[in-house]
Chain A
């Protein structure tokens, strides 16, 4: 039986180090953009889900000026289109595979919208990278939305009451009082999601993004060596993910000075 790992194979794939380096850069950029897009999207979605926009509110009031208890009009009056849209988005994105979403975005959406084809940093193909970022960002936005929403809703209502009674606006309350506390509570979940994003970005090699996994494939195709490039990829992913979770754990400690006696 062959050996599982042949050390000599590592020297055979050494000439392809540049490919892995490029792959690493792509994966890092992919993750950073995904996190940025995902986080912004999630914030908007979370606020939409928690909004209190009810355009048909007045239909719920009967002739005597009382709130209707039940019936079709009472249901309609409680309808919040913003919350409905955000909820539908989250549920659809969470209930379908990422790879399907990526293919729909790449072949479907960006099959219609022509992207300029140029290379970033001389080797990243923009018209493949961009759809990848959009698809991953849209996907992680759905997950992060639920994390952010749970964080905001975990904060005691008295905090908002105190902030508003001091004259802080709704936005100021969210920014200075609610979000800092919510963020601290959800950091472990966010760390988890960030690590998932780094690892999940590997799937974009299916649409031709030259990330770490595509480097593995290229080396495999050129040298017929399989295990060793995979081990290199494993090491790179670990070196990305492990420090990320450690970094977030550090922020978690730094933000927790309000809970120590």
Chain B
């Protein structure tokens, strides 16, 4: 397959509820390039999370299109290279998009190792040994190798979120989606999670991050999207956004959070 400039192309993405009475997303257009660390900021209720969750279809958009690696994933059916109509395999699509949630969502009835190996074994068909070896390598990278046999409840919030990140990485996704990954953490644990994300960004992982951590957005992001009321108001480099905000809406937002 030819190398594409854009990993994800979002065009006029809409998510309306109650027949358009509530517009969570109202026409968002943007591209995400390979290697991007794209940080989405904005006031609560601005549609940031809905936007992120639409990317792997946890929310079904009501309008617009999302082209991921050349396939419009908002269509239930599409034509493949040979012109044959095939059904969109949402499960296959989601394997390529790792997702990290605000509330970690680790599986409480499984050990950390089981949490990490379940999808590689059941979905990718990896052998147990191979999956465990890989999981332990990943856990080692985030300094949690010795907790492999612990249950999620035995970990701190920061540790849980680090596990959640490597659990998603174990599927070797092409892009990682972070939905407010540090918002449910105690302040002293935010750093350890951001460090892991920073390392990941340095390794070249494509990331879309919804966050309230302006420091992270400025330092790690190479693009910042500012959303309000379901609309993408401004986008640019961290410098554009934080030093030279154009719209009044963004200036107002920054004056409150910085």
Q: Tell me whether B95 and A167 are in contact (CB under 8 A).
A: yes
Question: In the assembly, what is the distance between CA of A258 and CA of B108, in Å?
Answer: 5
Q: Tell me whether A176 and B94 are in contact (CB under 8 A).
A: no
Q: Tell me whether B168 and A166 are in contact (CB under 8 A).
A: yes
A interface residues with partner B (beta carbon < 8 Å): 62, 66-69, 156, 158-159, 161-169, 172, 176-177, 180-181, 184, 255, 257-261
B interface residues with partner A (beta carbon < 8 Å): 18-20, 56, 58, 90-92, 94-95, 97-99, 101, 103, 105-110, 118-119, 122-124, 151-154, 164, 167-168, 171
Given A161-B101, A167-B123, A176 contacting B118 (CB threshold 8 A):
yes
A-B residue pairs in contact (CB < 8 Å), sample of 10: A62-B19, A68-B19, A158-B103, A158-B105, A166-B94, A166-B118, A167-B123, A172-B123, A176-B118, A259-B153
Q: Tell me whether A180 and B109 are in contact (CB under 8 A).
A: yes
Choice from B20, B99, B103, B167 contacting A66 with Cβ under 8 Å: B20
B119 contacts across to A, CB distance below 8 A: 163, 166-168
Q: How far is the CB of A238 from chain B (nearest CB, A)?
A: 33
A184 contacts across to B, CB distance below 8 A: 109
A176 contacts across to B, CB distance below 8 A: 118, 122
Instruction: Report which residue of B99, B122, B167 has the largest number of chain A beta carbons within 10 angstroms of its beta carbon.
Output: B122
Q: Tell me whether B123 and A168 are in contact (CB under 8 A).
A: yes
Q: Tell me whether A181 and B18 are in contact (CB under 8 A).
A: no
Question: In the assembly, what is the distance between CA of A164 and CA of B89, in Å?
Answer: 12
A258 contacts across to B, CB distance below 8 A: 108-110, 151-153
Given A259-B153, A261-B154, A162 contacting B105 (CB threshold 8 A):
yes
Q: How far is the CB of B169 from chain A (nearest CB, A)?
A: 11
B90 contacts across to A, CB distance below 8 A: 164
Given A69-B18, A69-B19, A172-B122, A158 contacting B91 (CB threshold 8 A):
no
Question: In the assembly, what is the distance between CA of A260 and CA of B168, in Å?
Answer: 25
Question: In the assembly, what is the distance between CA of A169 and CA of B109, in Å?
Answer: 19
Q: Tell me whether B91 and A165 are in contact (CB under 8 A).
A: no
A169 contacts across to B, CB distance below 8 A: 91
B168 contacts across to A, CB distance below 8 A: 165-166
Question: In the assembly, what is the distance between CA of A129 and CA of B95, in Å?
Answer: 50
A259 contacts across to B, CB distance below 8 A: 108, 153
